[in-house]
Amino acid sequence: MIELEGLTKRYGDKLAVDHLTFQVRPGMITGFLGPNGAGKSTTMRMMLDLDNPTAGSVRIDGKHYRDLQEPLKYIGALLDAKNMHGGRSAYHNLLCLAQSNRIPASRVAEVLDTVGLTAVAKKKSKGFSLGMGQRLGIAYALLGDPEILMFDEPVNGLDPEGIHWIRNLMKSLAAQGRTVFVSSHLMSEMALTADHLIVIGQGKLLADTSMAGFIRENSRSYVRVRTPQPEQFKDAASAAGLSVSLREDGSFEIEGADMAEPVGELAAQHRVTLHQLSPQQASLEEAFMQMTAQAVEYHAHNLNDPGAAAAAAQADPPLAQNAPPAPGQQGQGPQWGKGD
């Protein structure tokens, strides 16, 4: 169990992490989601007591990180694949870390085997590809057989087989009752692995919710209809008691998962011509992007339309209960957005 309490980090006049309060519970995978620069890595560094918080605290099973006896046996973390000495072999990089926590040398060989690096164990780690470095970092996290595991964007640089492997690894670790905390900026990745979701944007907590709850609230199914006879269609649908909404581009949306069949039959009965009748699903990625739209720091600007990003930033918050507060309310802490 990891508990964050009002965790804050300020770089100059920039708040990288802004009063984060949440818990990471055992026995499940908690996804830590946020766009680039949201403050995920900074938060994780503070959790490991590498960076000093400006305010707030982190407790690991009730203790400060610095008070842990042989911390690798409590918590294993992959921060960055590059955080090893390139001039040292993979084996020796892990050996010196194992020795500091009195972990037997035999365990080094074991974890190298687990991550599939046995063949290159004696090679200097500076020659490693990004994916191999990532695996070495994961081996380090597993070294002390810890109850808590933390991974900062572990799929970064892994091939499809590697991604599949890390997903299964995290799931089996969580199934053993361990605490797994994993960051990503891809909602789709989280949807496949995480049981619980923590979303941040510009250092602020935007959501702290179960994955199932997030999917329930944010995956909308509907049917899109295009017709040259919009008036007739609208009347017929209203008469049949369907909720229809007209979109800007002139198409209609009818809410519901299996509405294509009844809508098609309704149109046929009323002799309305349809040009399109297609079931649609709003993706979780869209929901995530909408949630963080206001908090995204590094908008990619459309070259033809420099105003687009600004317009997007000003759009109404689409998810009222999860929306970030208006500028005037900032700094009131993370109480909002805890829908489950």
Ligand X SMILES: Nc1ncnc2c1ncn2[C@@H]1O[C@H](COP(=O)(O)OP(=O)(O)OP(=O)(O)O)[C@@H](O)[C@H]1O
Instruction: Kindly list the residues in this chain that would bind other proteins in the complex (CB under 8 A).
Output: 45, 48-52, 65-66, 68-72, 77, 79-80, 82-89, 92-93, 95-97, 99-102, 140
Residue 251 buriedness (CB in 10 A; 0-12 / 13-18 / 19+): middle
How many other CB atoms are found less than 10 A from the CB of residue 74? 17
Residue 274 has φ and ψ, to the nearest 5°, of: -115, 135
Examine residue 218 and tell whether it contacts Mg ion (CB under 5 A). no
Give dist(CA 109, CA 86) in Å, integer: 19
Provide the H-helix boundaries in 37-143: 40-47, 90-100, 105-114, 130-142
Q: Residues 56-95: x/- map of binding to ligand X (CB under 6 A)?
A: ----------------------------------------
Q: List strands edge to edge, sheet with 244-246.
A: 244-246, 252-255, 221-226, 276-281
68 binds, among ligand X, other proteins, Mg ion, none (CB under 5 to 8 A by kind): other proteins
Minimal distance in Å, beta carbon 11 to ligand X? 4
Residue with tokens 């890390």: 166
Examine residue 93 and tell whether it contacts Mg ion (CB under 5 A). no
Minimal distance in Å, beta carbon 86 to ligand X? 21
Minimal distance in Å, beta carbon 79 to other proteins? 6
Tell me the two tokens of residue 286.
Answer: 């869209």
Tell me which residues in 18-47 interact with Mg ion (CB under 5 A).
41
Examine residue 156 and tell whether it contacts Mg ion (CB under 5 A). no
Tell me the two tokens of residue 105.
Answer: 């040398």
Examine residue 137 and tell whether it contacts ligand X (CB under 6 A). no
Residue ranges that bind ligand X, judged by CB under 6 A: 11, 16, 34, 36-42, 185
Residue ranges that bind Mg ion, judged by CB under 5 A: 41
